Amino acid sequence: MLDINKIENDFDKVCSDLGKRNKDFKNELNEIVELNLQRKKITFEVEELKSEKNKISKDIGVLARENKKDEIEKLKNAVSEINIKIEKLDYELKNVSDNLNLKLSYIPNIPNKNIPLGKDEEDNVEVKKWNSDNLKNGGEAHWEIASKLGLVDFELGAKLSGSRFVVYTNKGAKMIRALTDILINRHTNNGYKEMWLPLIVNKENMYGTGQLPKFEEDAYKVDDQYLIPTSEVPLTNTVRDKILDKSELPMYLTAFTQCFRKEAGSAGRDTKGLIRLHQFNKVEMVKITDSKTSYEELDKMLLDAEDCLQLFNLPYRVVELCGGDIGFSSAKTYDLEVWFPNQNKFREISSCSNCLDFQAKRIMTRYKNDEGKNEYVHTLNGSGLAIDRLFAAIMENYYDGEKLILPEVLKQYFGNQEFLK
């Protein structure tokens, strides 16, 4: 959530900075400023009426001691009229404030000042590559390999739940468990606190991390609750409404969960395979930091995600997202993209973002800084990793046409076998 005072006091700069997202927000911001002026005007009128009411109440007290009943009655009538005016203004104030907060909730975070400019993913900037000198090219698609080896039953997933649901079977199911174990162990060994979380959260949690109201159409709703689209939602909200000591920061959290997304905006994209599922598996990383070290912690989080891919010796590249592709709550994002030989391209497997204090203002999480004053924390999140996509990348990079060569780190989970066939 952006600070309304910042919008008012630095209107042109906020418009310019948000414009880096490849959209003009000036009209929306003008509406917000106008609503805030209305809110201030009504608030002032209410305070004036309350002040007048207090003065009359004191006068009534004086007149009561003098037993002037007629004058007291007139003043009581005046108080009743003031109460009616206050009630009406309070109603108007609530409507204006609700409308103001709603419009503010649709305004995204201000991007980092050095963010690459661009319209979409084609304008993202490559930062580095790893193990990409001898990329495997061509070969079978991961869904063909997984079906041939009896690791995934795509037809059964569709039969049970519909399109973009899958069933992992036999050693495929075991591999999902193994991948989860490897990733969680990696993170906990590096200082992350593991959490086991509910998969259903209330709307306050979805609002807190920026999924609501803007992205409601992409969420699965159960009555007035939501299936989580990522464990970033419950992990970040574990500190909601708290004032932390600086000594508690930085806070590192991790969790494995299944996640649920309708993928409403991706019609026709990646309809085959494991890239874009409605129910998927993911290990998430979340950091809660002070306001001065969050970018340093973002770089560390990126290395944590990279280390996960290096465990499997998978080629990848890192890109920094441009203004037109960056997420709603993020100020700066790195995407980690793993190599898919069949598609002859890198595909996202992790996204590491610094949200600064954007989410913290929504969940009201602060810490006591060195001066003893309350300051909003900064929140970061990153995939560590998207497990179904990791499974798919292993299929395509390690299949030799007959058998799946197991990465070294996976062999212990399969009796030190060299391959699956």
Residue with tokens 């990329």: 135
Distance, in Å, from the CA atom of 278 to the CA atom of 15, rounded to the nearest integer, reads 35
CA angle 408–411–414, rounded 5-degree value: 165
232 annotated ligand-binding residue? yes
**Do the annotations mark residue 188 as ligand-binding?**
no
Confirm whether residue 284 is marked as ligand binding. yes
Burial code (b: 16+ CB inside 10 Å, e: under 16) for 184-220 equals bebbeeeebeebebeebbebebbbbbbbbeebeeebe
Say whether 349 counts as a known binding-site residue.
yes
Ligand-binding annotation for 194, yes or no, is no
CA distance 349 to 393: 9
Crossing angle for the helix pair 69-105 and 26-65, to the nearest 10 degrees: 160
Please count the other Cβ atoms lying within 10 Å of the Cβ belonging to residue 314: 22
For the chain, the first-to-last Cα distance in angstroms comes to 52
| CA 156/CA 174 separation, integer angstroms | 18
Residue with tokens 């997984």: 146
- Residues contacting 357, CB < 8 A, separation 6+: 291, 376, 377, 378, 379
* 118, amino acid identity: G
Sheet holding 243-245, edge to edge: 243-245, 366-368, 374-376
**Spatial distance between the Cα atoms of 413 and 77, rounded to a whole number of angstroms:** 82
Q: Rounded to whole angstroms, how far apart are CA atoms 276 and 315?
A: 20
Q: Is 169 annotated as a binding residue?
A: no
Is 247 known to sit in a ligand binding site? no
Q: Is 262 annotated as a binding residue?
A: yes
Whether the Cβ atoms of residue 355 and residue 330 lie closer than 8 Å to each other: yes
Is 261 marked as binding a ligand?
A: yes
Q: Is 351 marked within a binding site?
A: yes
47 is in an annotated binding site: no
- Given a contact cutoff of 8 angstroms between Cβ atoms, the answer to whether 145 and 396 are in contact is yes
**Residues annotated within a binding site for L-serine:** 230-232, 261, 284, 381, 383
**Residues annotated within a binding site for ATP:** 261-263, 348-351
**Residues annotated within a binding site:** 230-232, 261-263, 284, 348-351, 381, 383
